[in-house]
Amino acid sequence: MSLLELSPARCVRALSVNSLCSLCADVCPANAIALGERLPSINQSLCVGCSGCVAVCPSEAFVLDDFNPTEFFFSFASEEGNLVSCQKNLPCIAALSSEHLISLCSLKKGLILDIGHCSDCDIGIKVLEVMEERIQSANYLLEAIEVESRVVSEKISYGSDEVDEHKDRRDFFKTFHLRGMVKAKHDFDKEVQSTTDEFVEIRIESSHTQELRTKKITDRRKLFFTALKRVEKPSQFHVVDASMIGFTSQKMMDEANCTACQMCYRVCPTAALTSDMRNSRIDFDPFLCVKCHLCHDVCESDAISVSTSYNLTEWFEPKVQNLITYSVRRCDECAALFSSVGGEKICRRCRLEEEEALELWGLNR
Protein backbone atom coordinates (compact mmCIF):
# COMPACT_ATOMS: atom_id res chain seq x y z
CA MET A 1 0.00 0.00 0.00
CA SER A 2 1.02 3.57 -0.60
CA LEU A 3 0.87 6.88 1.09
CA LEU A 4 -0.11 9.87 -0.97
CA GLU A 5 1.42 13.24 -0.23
CA LEU A 6 0.64 16.68 -1.60
CA SER A 7 3.31 19.36 -1.95
CA PRO A 8 1.00 22.26 -1.03
CA ALA A 9 3.05 24.94 -2.74
CA ARG A 10 3.03 23.07 -6.04
CA CYS A 11 -0.77 22.85 -6.29
CA VAL A 12 -2.01 25.61 -8.57
CA ARG A 13 -4.87 26.24 -6.14
CA ALA A 14 -2.23 27.58 -3.75
CA LEU A 15 -1.27 30.26 -6.25
CA SER A 16 -4.64 31.97 -6.55
CA VAL A 17 -8.05 31.93 -4.89
CA ASN A 18 -9.44 31.98 -8.42
CA SER A 19 -8.01 28.61 -9.43
CA LEU A 20 -10.71 26.16 -10.40
CA CYS A 21 -8.43 23.14 -10.83
CA SER A 22 -10.13 19.93 -9.72
CA LEU A 23 -8.37 17.39 -11.95
CA CYS A 24 -7.09 15.22 -9.08
CA ALA A 25 -10.47 14.95 -7.34
CA ASP A 26 -12.21 14.33 -10.68
CA VAL A 27 -9.88 11.49 -11.71
CA CYS A 28 -9.57 9.68 -8.36
CA PRO A 29 -11.43 6.38 -8.76
CA ALA A 30 -11.62 5.83 -4.99
CA ASN A 31 -12.98 9.27 -4.03
CA ALA A 32 -9.98 9.70 -1.74
CA ILE A 33 -9.45 13.35 -2.71
CA ALA A 34 -11.88 16.13 -1.83
CA LEU A 35 -11.52 19.76 -2.68
CA GLY A 36 -11.50 21.80 0.47
CA GLU A 37 -11.69 25.53 0.67
CA ARG A 38 -8.31 25.90 -1.02
CA LEU A 39 -6.16 22.79 -1.33
CA PRO A 40 -7.26 19.21 -1.90
CA SER A 41 -7.78 17.07 1.22
CA ILE A 42 -6.71 13.44 1.20
CA ASN A 43 -8.32 10.44 2.85
CA GLN A 44 -5.42 7.99 3.10
CA SER A 45 -7.58 5.03 4.04
CA LEU A 46 -9.60 5.39 0.82
CA CYS A 47 -6.52 5.93 -1.38
CA VAL A 48 -5.69 2.78 -3.34
CA GLY A 49 -2.32 4.08 -4.55
CA CYS A 50 -3.18 3.91 -8.26
CA SER A 51 -1.21 7.12 -8.96
CA GLY A 52 -4.01 8.50 -11.15
CA CYS A 53 -3.85 11.90 -9.42
CA VAL A 54 -0.06 11.98 -9.78
CA ALA A 55 -0.46 11.47 -13.54
CA VAL A 56 -3.16 14.07 -14.01
CA CYS A 57 -1.92 16.93 -11.82
CA PRO A 58 -0.58 19.59 -14.21
CA SER A 59 2.02 20.78 -11.73
CA GLU A 60 3.07 17.39 -10.31
CA ALA A 61 1.92 18.38 -6.82
CA PHE A 62 1.25 14.79 -5.71
CA VAL A 63 3.76 12.07 -4.85
CA LEU A 64 3.26 8.49 -3.75
CA ASP A 65 5.80 7.14 -1.30
CA ASP A 66 6.28 3.88 -3.20
CA PHE A 67 5.98 4.87 -6.86
CA ASN A 68 7.79 7.58 -8.75
CA PRO A 69 6.73 7.89 -12.41
CA THR A 70 10.07 9.40 -13.47
CA GLU A 71 12.08 6.56 -11.89
CA PHE A 72 9.67 4.10 -13.48
CA PHE A 73 10.14 5.82 -16.85
CA PHE A 74 13.93 5.45 -16.76
CA SER A 75 13.97 1.85 -15.55
CA PHE A 76 11.24 0.79 -18.01
CA ALA A 77 12.92 2.61 -20.92
CA SER A 78 16.20 0.82 -20.20
CA GLU A 79 14.63 -2.66 -19.96
CA GLU A 80 13.61 -5.09 -22.68
CA GLY A 81 9.91 -5.31 -23.46
CA ASN A 82 7.10 -2.83 -23.86
CA LEU A 83 4.36 -4.18 -21.59
CA VAL A 84 3.08 -2.17 -18.64
CA SER A 85 0.91 -4.01 -16.19
CA CYS A 86 -0.35 -3.62 -12.62
CA GLN A 87 0.70 -7.26 -12.19
CA LYS A 88 4.28 -6.55 -13.19
CA ASN A 89 5.78 -3.14 -13.04
CA LEU A 90 3.50 -0.29 -11.86
CA PRO A 91 0.60 0.19 -9.41
CA CYS A 92 -2.00 0.83 -12.11
CA ILE A 93 -1.93 1.78 -15.79
CA ALA A 94 -3.58 5.09 -14.75
CA ALA A 95 -0.15 6.09 -13.41
CA LEU A 96 0.89 7.00 -16.95
CA SER A 97 -0.06 10.42 -18.29
CA SER A 98 -0.59 11.13 -22.00
CA GLU A 99 2.92 12.62 -22.12
CA HIS A 100 4.35 9.40 -20.65
CA LEU A 101 2.41 7.29 -23.16
CA ILE A 102 3.68 9.27 -26.15
CA SER A 103 7.25 9.38 -24.84
CA LEU A 104 7.44 5.68 -23.96
CA CYS A 105 5.65 4.55 -27.12
CA SER A 106 8.02 6.50 -29.36
CA LEU A 107 11.13 5.31 -27.47
CA LYS A 108 10.02 1.68 -27.22
CA LYS A 109 8.56 1.47 -30.73
CA GLY A 110 5.17 0.54 -29.30
CA LEU A 111 3.55 0.25 -25.89
CA ILE A 112 1.13 -2.37 -24.53
CA LEU A 113 -1.12 -1.54 -21.58
CA ASP A 114 -2.40 -4.62 -19.78
CA ILE A 115 -6.13 -4.20 -19.08
CA GLY A 116 -6.73 -7.89 -18.34
CA HIS A 117 -7.28 -7.27 -14.61
CA CYS A 118 -9.39 -4.12 -14.69
CA SER A 119 -12.71 -5.96 -14.70
CA ASP A 120 -11.81 -7.65 -11.37
CA CYS A 121 -10.53 -4.44 -9.84
CA ASP A 122 -12.71 -2.06 -7.77
CA ILE A 123 -11.40 0.98 -9.63
CA GLY A 124 -11.14 -0.71 -13.04
CA ILE A 125 -14.18 0.87 -14.73
CA LYS A 126 -13.04 4.42 -14.08
CA VAL A 127 -9.44 3.58 -14.97
CA LEU A 128 -10.52 2.11 -18.32
CA GLU A 129 -12.55 5.23 -19.12
CA VAL A 130 -9.65 7.54 -18.30
CA MET A 131 -7.08 5.43 -20.14
CA GLU A 132 -9.21 5.03 -23.25
CA GLU A 133 -9.18 8.81 -23.62
CA ARG A 134 -5.43 9.04 -23.01
CA ILE A 135 -4.67 6.23 -25.48
CA GLN A 136 -6.83 7.90 -28.11
CA SER A 137 -5.10 11.22 -27.62
CA ALA A 138 -1.60 9.63 -27.58
CA ASN A 139 -2.23 7.70 -30.81
CA TYR A 140 -3.73 10.74 -32.53
CA LEU A 141 -0.62 12.75 -31.67
CA LEU A 142 1.81 9.92 -32.51
CA GLU A 143 0.25 9.72 -35.94
CA ALA A 144 0.47 13.49 -36.32
CA ILE A 145 4.21 13.46 -35.60
CA GLU A 146 4.59 10.57 -38.04
CA VAL A 147 5.67 7.98 -35.46
CA GLU A 148 4.41 4.60 -36.65
CA SER A 149 4.17 2.79 -33.32
CA ARG A 150 0.98 2.92 -31.28
CA VAL A 151 -0.23 2.48 -27.72
CA VAL A 152 -2.50 -0.56 -27.51
CA SER A 153 -4.46 -2.14 -24.69
CA GLU A 154 -4.48 -5.92 -24.33
CA LYS A 155 -5.91 -8.40 -21.85
CA ILE A 156 -2.95 -10.43 -20.54
CA SER A 157 -3.24 -13.38 -18.15
CA TYR A 158 -0.43 -14.67 -15.96
CA GLY A 159 0.34 -17.81 -14.00
CA SER A 160 0.52 -17.21 -10.22
CA ASP A 161 4.34 -17.59 -10.23
CA GLU A 162 4.69 -14.81 -12.82
CA VAL A 163 3.06 -12.09 -10.73
CA ASP A 164 5.29 -9.82 -8.64
CA GLU A 165 4.30 -9.94 -4.99
CA HIS A 166 3.06 -6.59 -3.67
CA LYS A 167 4.71 -5.38 -0.54
CA ASP A 168 2.21 -5.10 2.27
CA ARG A 169 2.14 -1.97 4.41
CA ARG A 170 2.49 -4.17 7.46
CA ASP A 171 5.92 -5.26 6.24
CA PHE A 172 6.97 -2.05 7.94
CA PHE A 173 6.74 -3.72 11.34
CA LYS A 174 8.82 -6.71 10.20
CA THR A 175 11.69 -4.48 9.14
CA PHE A 176 11.52 -2.31 12.23
CA HIS A 177 14.72 -3.69 13.73
CA LEU A 178 16.69 -2.92 10.58
CA ARG A 179 16.11 0.76 10.53
CA GLY A 180 17.49 3.70 12.43
CA MET A 181 15.20 5.09 15.11
CA VAL A 182 14.59 8.40 13.28
CA LYS A 183 13.59 6.65 10.09
CA ALA A 184 11.41 4.23 12.06
CA LYS A 185 9.63 7.10 13.82
CA HIS A 186 9.01 8.82 10.48
CA ASP A 187 7.57 5.60 9.03
CA PHE A 188 5.46 5.10 12.14
CA ASP A 189 3.95 8.61 11.83
CA LYS A 190 3.19 7.93 8.19
CA GLU A 191 1.66 4.58 9.11
CA VAL A 192 -0.66 6.27 11.62
CA GLN A 193 -1.59 8.94 9.09
CA SER A 194 -2.30 6.33 6.44
CA THR A 195 -4.84 4.56 8.62
CA THR A 196 -6.79 7.72 9.43
CA ASP A 197 -10.14 7.34 7.76
CA GLU A 198 -10.84 11.06 7.55
CA PHE A 199 -10.06 13.69 4.97
CA VAL A 200 -6.98 15.50 6.14
CA GLU A 201 -6.88 19.15 5.22
CA ILE A 202 -3.57 20.41 3.86
CA ARG A 203 -2.48 23.97 4.48
CA ILE A 204 0.03 26.41 3.11
CA GLU A 205 2.62 27.37 5.74
CA SER A 206 4.99 30.31 5.75
CA SER A 207 7.83 27.84 5.04
CA HIS A 208 6.32 27.33 1.57
CA THR A 209 6.78 30.96 0.49
CA GLN A 210 9.98 30.37 -1.49
CA GLU A 211 8.55 27.31 -3.27
CA LEU A 212 5.39 29.23 -4.16
CA ARG A 213 7.51 31.78 -5.99
CA THR A 214 9.58 29.19 -7.85
CA LYS A 215 8.55 28.52 -11.44
CA LYS A 216 9.15 24.90 -12.34
CA ILE A 217 9.02 22.75 -15.43
CA THR A 218 7.48 19.33 -14.71
CA ASP A 219 9.55 16.14 -14.91
CA ARG A 220 7.21 14.55 -17.40
CA ARG A 221 7.53 17.59 -19.70
CA LYS A 222 11.33 17.19 -19.58
CA LEU A 223 10.96 13.49 -20.43
CA PHE A 224 8.52 14.32 -23.22
CA PHE A 225 10.86 16.75 -24.94
CA THR A 226 13.84 14.42 -24.45
CA ALA A 227 11.84 11.63 -26.12
CA LEU A 228 10.82 13.94 -28.98
CA LYS A 229 14.47 14.75 -29.65
CA ARG A 230 15.02 11.06 -30.43
CA VAL A 231 12.17 10.92 -32.88
CA GLU A 232 12.81 11.64 -36.53
CA LYS A 233 11.48 15.07 -37.49
CA PRO A 234 8.19 14.68 -39.36
CA SER A 235 8.14 15.52 -43.10
CA GLN A 236 5.90 18.45 -42.18
CA PHE A 237 4.61 19.98 -38.98
CA HIS A 238 0.91 19.23 -38.84
CA VAL A 239 -1.72 21.46 -37.32
CA VAL A 240 -3.86 19.31 -35.03
CA ASP A 241 -7.15 19.60 -33.15
CA ALA A 242 -6.17 21.24 -29.82
CA SER A 243 -8.99 19.49 -27.95
CA MET A 244 -7.04 16.24 -28.40
CA ILE A 245 -4.13 17.61 -26.34
CA GLY A 246 -4.83 17.58 -22.61
CA PHE A 247 -1.37 18.63 -21.43
CA THR A 248 -0.42 21.82 -23.25
CA SER A 249 -2.02 24.63 -25.17
CA GLN A 250 -1.55 27.50 -27.56
CA LYS A 251 -2.72 30.87 -26.22
CA MET A 252 -4.12 34.03 -27.72
CA MET A 253 -4.69 37.35 -25.99
CA ASP A 254 -7.44 39.81 -26.81
CA GLU A 255 -5.99 43.34 -26.75
CA ALA A 256 -9.43 44.91 -26.51
CA ASN A 257 -10.17 43.06 -23.24
CA CYS A 258 -6.75 42.94 -21.57
CA THR A 259 -6.50 45.49 -18.75
CA ALA A 260 -2.72 45.04 -18.40
CA CYS A 261 -3.16 43.84 -14.81
CA GLN A 262 -0.46 41.23 -15.53
CA MET A 263 -1.87 38.69 -13.09
CA CYS A 264 -1.65 35.91 -15.66
CA TYR A 265 2.09 35.86 -16.04
CA ARG A 266 2.70 36.37 -12.34
CA VAL A 267 0.71 33.25 -11.38
CA CYS A 268 1.82 30.96 -14.22
CA PRO A 269 3.54 28.08 -12.34
CA THR A 270 5.96 27.14 -15.11
CA ALA A 271 6.95 30.55 -16.56
CA ALA A 272 5.19 29.71 -19.81
CA LEU A 273 3.94 33.29 -19.54
CA THR A 274 6.59 35.91 -18.87
CA SER A 275 7.17 39.63 -19.10
CA ASP A 276 10.25 41.85 -19.30
CA MET A 277 11.81 44.14 -16.66
CA ARG A 278 9.59 47.07 -17.69
CA ASN A 279 6.39 44.99 -17.80
CA SER A 280 5.93 46.16 -21.36
CA ARG A 281 4.84 42.82 -22.83
CA ILE A 282 3.55 39.33 -22.16
CA ASP A 283 5.27 36.45 -23.95
CA PHE A 284 4.24 32.83 -24.16
CA ASP A 285 6.40 29.73 -24.39
CA PRO A 286 4.21 26.79 -25.50
CA PHE A 287 7.05 24.42 -24.59
CA LEU A 288 6.34 25.16 -20.92
CA CYS A 289 2.54 25.40 -20.76
CA VAL A 290 0.98 22.53 -18.77
CA LYS A 291 -2.62 23.60 -19.46
CA CYS A 292 -3.33 24.20 -15.77
CA HIS A 293 -5.84 26.90 -16.77
CA LEU A 294 -4.68 29.20 -13.97
CA CYS A 295 -4.00 32.15 -16.30
CA HIS A 296 -7.59 31.92 -17.56
CA ASP A 297 -8.98 31.57 -14.02
CA VAL A 298 -7.26 34.75 -12.80
CA CYS A 299 -8.04 36.88 -15.84
CA GLU A 300 -11.05 38.94 -14.75
CA SER A 301 -11.64 40.28 -18.24
CA ASP A 302 -11.41 36.92 -20.01
CA ALA A 303 -8.72 38.24 -22.31
CA ILE A 304 -6.88 34.94 -22.74
CA SER A 305 -8.18 32.16 -24.91
CA VAL A 306 -6.94 28.79 -26.04
CA SER A 307 -6.50 28.26 -29.74
CA THR A 308 -8.70 25.51 -31.18
CA SER A 309 -5.83 24.22 -33.29
CA TYR A 310 -2.25 23.42 -32.30
CA ASN A 311 0.74 23.63 -34.59
CA LEU A 312 3.15 20.79 -33.83
CA THR A 313 6.09 22.99 -34.83
CA GLU A 314 6.00 23.92 -31.14
CA TRP A 315 7.24 20.44 -30.23
CA PHE A 316 10.17 20.40 -32.61
CA GLU A 317 11.16 24.05 -33.01
CA PRO A 318 9.62 25.80 -29.98
CA LYS A 319 9.67 29.58 -30.05
CA VAL A 320 8.64 32.14 -27.47
CA GLN A 321 5.77 34.20 -28.86
CA ASN A 322 4.72 37.73 -28.03
CA LEU A 323 1.04 37.77 -27.02
CA ILE A 324 0.67 41.46 -26.25
CA THR A 325 2.80 44.62 -26.02
CA TYR A 326 1.92 47.51 -23.69
CA SER A 327 2.98 51.11 -23.63
CA VAL A 328 4.70 51.99 -20.37
CA ARG A 329 4.12 55.52 -19.03
CA ARG A 330 3.98 57.52 -15.80
CA CYS A 331 0.67 57.81 -14.01
CA ASP A 332 -0.73 61.37 -14.05
CA GLU A 333 -1.83 60.93 -10.40
CA CYS A 334 0.98 59.09 -8.59
CA ALA A 335 3.83 59.33 -11.15
CA ALA A 336 4.52 55.58 -10.93
CA LEU A 337 5.34 53.72 -14.13
CA PHE A 338 2.51 51.52 -15.36
CA SER A 339 1.64 49.41 -18.38
CA SER A 340 -1.30 50.48 -20.46
CA VAL A 341 -3.15 49.05 -23.43
CA GLY A 342 -5.61 51.75 -24.36
CA GLY A 343 -3.78 55.05 -23.74
CA GLU A 344 -4.94 55.35 -20.10
CA LYS A 345 -3.43 58.30 -18.23
CA ILE A 346 -3.72 57.01 -14.67
CA CYS A 347 -2.55 53.64 -13.31
CA ARG A 348 -4.82 50.82 -12.26
CA ARG A 349 -4.34 51.45 -8.53
CA CYS A 350 -5.22 55.15 -8.85
CA ARG A 351 -8.20 54.29 -11.05
CA LEU A 352 -9.48 51.76 -8.45
CA GLU A 353 -9.00 54.33 -5.68
CA GLU A 354 -10.89 56.89 -7.73
CA GLU A 355 -13.72 54.42 -8.38
CA GLU A 356 -13.88 53.56 -4.67
CA ALA A 357 -14.03 57.23 -3.68
CA LEU A 358 -16.84 57.87 -6.17
CA GLU A 359 -18.69 54.83 -4.82
CA LEU A 360 -18.20 56.01 -1.23
CA TRP A 361 -19.59 59.45 -1.96
CA GLY A 362 -22.38 58.12 -4.15
CA LEU A 363 -21.09 60.07 -7.14
CA ASN A 364 -20.90 57.22 -9.63
CA ARG A 365 -24.63 56.93 -10.31
Site of interaction with ligand SF4 (CB under 6 A)? 11-13, 21-24, 40, 57-59, 61-62, 253, 258-264, 268, 270, 272-273, 289-295, 298-299, 301, 303-304
Nearer to ligand SF4, 105 or 295 (CB): 295
Nearer to ligand SF4, 89 or 257 (CB): 257
Question: For residues 12 and 21, what is the distance between their CA atoms, to the nearest angstrom?
Answer: 7
How far apart are CB 56 and ligand SF4 at their closest, in Å?
6
Q: CA angle at residue 229 from 106 to 294, to 5 degrees? A: 90
Nearer to ligand SF4, 313 or 321 (CB): 321
How far apart are CB 350 and ligand SF4 at their closest, in Å?
17
What one-character-per-residue DSSP string does 116-180 give? TTGGGSTTHHHHHHHHHHHHHHHHHHHHHTT----EEEE-----GGGSPPPPPTTHHHHTGGGS-
Nearer to ligand SF4, 41 or 85 (CB): 41
Sign of the Cα pseudo-torsion (236, 305, 248, 32, in order)? negative
Nearer to ligand SF4, 113 or 295 (CB): 295
How far apart are CB 265 and ligand SF4 at their closest, in Å?
7
How far apart are CB 8 and ligand SF4 at their closest, in Å?
9
Closest CA to 225 of 146, 289, 305: 289
How far apart are CB 69 and ligand SF4 at their closest, in Å?
14
**190: buried, middle or exposed (CB in 10 Å: 19+, 13-18, 0-12)?**
middle
Do 59 and 292 form a contact (C-beta atoms < 8 A)?
yes
